[in-house]
Amino acid sequence: MKVLLMGNPNVGKSVIFSRLTGVHVIASNYPGTTVGYTHGYMKLGEEMAEVIDVPGTYTLEPTCDAEEIASRMLAEGEVVINVVNATNLERNLYLTLQLLEKHVPVIVALNVWDDTKHRGIHIDLEKLRSLLGVPVIPTVAVTGQGVKELAESIPHAISPAAPARSRDERWSAVGDIIEQVQRITHRHHTWTERLEDASVSPLTGGAMALAVLAAAFFVVRFIGEGLIAHVLDPLFQNVWAPAILKISSFLGGGGLLHDVIVGKVVAGEIDFVESFGLLSTGIYIPFAMVLPYIIAFYLVLGILEDTGYLPRLAVLMDTFMHRLGLHGYAIIPTLLGFGCNVPAVLSTRILESKRERFIAATLISVAVPCAALQAMIFGMVGAHGEQYVAIVYGTLFVSWIILGFILNHTTKGFSPELLIEIPPYRLPSLQTVFKKLWMRVRGFLKEAIPIILGAVAVINVLYFFGIFDDIARFTAPVVSGLLGLPEEAITALVVGFLRKDMAMGMLAPLALSAEQLVVSSVVLSMFFPCIATFVVLLRELGVRNMFKSAGVMIVAALLAGGILNLIF
């Protein structure tokens, strides 16, 4: 049996899914799309039933990719559990009536049932069951209340003879149902409701957003850098490096095969960033450079998702972000890019259309420097005066705005309006947060590692045959003429593909002036992304759009650097 969990976004579907399926879950993309969903299995009597957490949708008349996929998946299900937010019954019942019209067996899970009492909402369950003609089970997903009864009701799902209605008729029917089953009594606002109101007010909401995002940024860096410094770097240096040196000795210490598998060995030591072998850099990049930030980011994202804050941040920023072809949710990956571009580009999955994901990922890659690069900018450029650092960040910000306007008017497709359910604030379930964290991390490693290893192998071969030296000689006129930098700077720009903070460090021996450091910092920030971000862009955007995005980066970097050089 195939059971579909369907409902509006932010009604608790994922938590109910977690309660039903336990740990046996699989994260997938719907074929031909980047719209993700999760499926797992539960014991239902003597058989195993597949449970699918369908992308959240408000209607079966699709307005975005996620709603389109939800409508298609409906045809694949044998039973639908329609998860409804009991505190916003009127908004949720529109989808319920559409599902009943499809003549598929339906059970309604009336979730967030505990909050109805807190909010003075009284729902006549028996009357609601009678009017809908299907089982209605009150649930509290975060505590598990009602989930056992919900599972036991699956074999008794009913497909009532519901008439087909027009949109207006459906809303009229919703109003009639609400009038008969729901009664609201007066009560005083709780402190959480006052906090909810403050979260979307422009003044207090803006201050709260800065505080929350600063805290998220700090936690991502603290966890990511802590894992690198205290766990993964020591593990690689003390355990993995000696093993690689033994393999190096076995392979003769040189030659193409040695350089591809092991990489460069200098004075009997392995530099995991610069050696660039499959077993050195190819393993170090995904596990020691990227994975710690992925873990930290997805942990923070899961907590923010389950507390109910993200929809409020999206509403707060929606008007401004729409001018860049995005909606409010895009501010989250944008700001997270200041920690690391990899999880930032990954998080563009929360955006609904391919157009938005392309614009957001491109803007992040072009104009949002990662934490490691920022540290080098402050150290090297800041040594000549704070005004030069301000010029770097001002140029990046202006480029972000201008490029956003250009992409908004030139990229085909549409950016949907921000139509989201804003849930009440709740304490997150740690079990659910860690389960989502495990699924997301596993999915990243499964998809990213083969691409990173392939990229490392190809680039290593290019280095071995001296092709990068040819690239340096070929681009020297542009570097010297357009950007006003010495020819040797091209090596740093090329190395920026591996790691941008290391590339900035390679500029130090060139004795650049303050103006040249500003130009090189801006170009390095906006130029082709590091290999880890490149891999994620390839995965999220596809080959064609990744090359489009890369083209935008190169053109924007050269224009910004050329204009700065001209001004100086």
Residue 522 pLDDT: 92
In which order are the strands placed within the sheet that holds 136-138? 25-29, 36-44, 47-53, 2-7, 79-85, 106-111, 136-138
Query: In CATH terms, is domain 2-184 a member of 3.90.180.10?
Result: no
Please give the Cα distance from 523 to 392 (Å, whole number).
Answer: 10
Cα-based torsion angle of the residue sequence 291, 353, 326, 564 in order, rounded to the nearest 10 degrees: 60
Please give the Cα distance from 435 to 302 (Å, whole number).
Answer: 10
Which CB contacts under 8 angstroms, 24+ apart, belong to 545-549? 545/354, 545/358, 548/358, 549/358, 549/361, 549/362, 549/365
What sections of 81-163 are H helices per DSSP? 89-101, 113-118, 125-132, 147-153
The DSSP output letter for 37 is E
**Cβ–Cβ under 8 Å, residues 350 and 329:** yes
Q: For residue 340, give every residue at least 6 positions away whose Cβ sits within 8 Å of its Cβ, in sequence order, or none.
A: 220, 224, 290, 293, 297, 370, 371
* Token pair of 436 as six digits: 């989502």
Tracing tokens 């909401």 back to the chain, one arrives at 205
Beta-bridge mates of residue 300: none
Give this prediction's pTM.
0.61
Please give the Cα distance from 339 to 368 (Å, whole number).
Answer: 9
Please give the Cα distance from 115 to 140 (Å, whole number).
Answer: 9
**Cβ–Cβ under 8 Å, residues 80 and 73:** no
Residue 411 pLDDT: 86
Please give the Cα distance from 94 to 296 (Å, whole number).
Answer: 38
Count of other CB atoms within 10 angstroms of residue 110: 24
The DSSP output letter for 61 is S
Q: Rounded to the nearest 5°, which phi and psi values hold at 248?
A: -60, -45
**Cβ–Cβ under 8 Å, residues 275 and 195:** no
- Helix, coil or strand: residue 31: coil
Please give the Cα distance from 36 to 444 (Å, whole number).
Answer: 13
- Strands 106-111, 79-85: pairing kind: parallel
Of the candidates 564, 266, 206, which has an alpha carbon nearest to the alpha carbon of residue 393? 564
CA distances from 327 to 161, 280, 305, 323, 420 (A): 39, 40, 17, 9, 11
Please give the Cα distance from 520 to 491 (Å, whole number).
Answer: 12
Count of other CB atoms within 10 angstroms of residue 435: 21
Which CB contacts under 8 angstroms, 24+ apart, belong to 480-483? 482/558, 482/561, 482/562, 482/565, 483/519, 483/520, 483/523, 483/558, 483/561, 483/562, 483/565
pLDDT 10s digit of each residue in the chain, 568 long? 899 999 998 888 888 888 888 655 555 544 444 456 788 888 887 788 899 988 888 889 887 777 788 888 888 889 999 999 999 999 999 999 999 999 899 999 999 898 888 788 999 999 999 999 999 999 988 777 888 899 989 988 888 888 889 999 999 999 999 999 999 887 666 777 778 778 877 788 888 888 887 888 788 778 888 898 899 999 999 999 999 999 988 888 778 888 888 888 877 888 776 677 888 877 887 788 778 877 887 788 788 878 888 778 877 887 788 788 887 778 878 877 776 788 788 778 778 778 888 999 999 999 988 766 777 787 788 888 889 989 999 999 999 999 999 998 888 876 665 656 667 787 888 887 888 788 778 776 776 677 667 767 776 777 777 776 777 677 777 888 888 888 778 777 776 776 676 677 667 768 788 899 999 999 988 987 777 788 888 888 888 999 999 899 999 999 999 999 999 8
Q: For residue 69, give every residue at least 6 positions away whose Cβ sits within 8 Å of its Cβ, in sequence order, or none.
A: 30, 33, 35, 37, 54, 55
| Amino acid of residue 358 | F
**Cβ–Cβ under 8 Å, residues 353 and 368:** no
What sections of 323-368 are H helices per DSSP? 331-336, 341-346, 354-367
Q: How many residues does the chain have?
A: 568
Please give the Cα distance from 130 to 297 (Å, whole number).
Answer: 45
Q: For residue 306, give every residue at least 6 positions away whose Cβ sits within 8 Å of its Cβ, in sequence order, or none.
A: 15, 426, 428, 429, 432, 433
Residue 231 pLDDT: 93
Q: Where in the chain is the domain with CATH 3.40.50.300?
A: 2-184
